[in-house]
Structure 1
């Protein structure tokens, strides 16, 4: 399957469907990073504050 890594839908996930109102082409590929909870993850992270809580932003992570 050429380029099959670009799209993934995990219907066996215990949280699926995790977001209400999504279309059928919802992509689960980047849903969860196992390093997200690590305070010193090696990614390119930044932090924002929302409602008094610090949230890790991984937008620029490779």
Structure 2
């Protein structure tokens, strides 16, 4: 289980999103590997000046974030090879 969760309370941005219950905030995917999936990532994002803004998305930081991201990694690998 420990490989699915990491927390860096020493980070100046911790937590980088407003949340309830910081003790469950997962920093493992500080940079979301699903960003390159654009609209197909499944997260709560918006576009601002043609730039994807993921600041409202908590998928990578939630309790089931690891499993969700891993379920999409085959698509990430496929697209990154294009």
Q: State TM-score, norm by structure 1.
A: 0.49
Query: Going by fraction, where is helix more abundant, 1 or 2?
Result: 2
Report the structure, 1 or 2, having the larger strand content.
1
Larger radius of gyration: 1
Bigger RCO of structures 1 and 2 (CA < 8 A, at least 6 apart): 2
Q: Give the TM-score, by structure 2 length.
A: 0.41
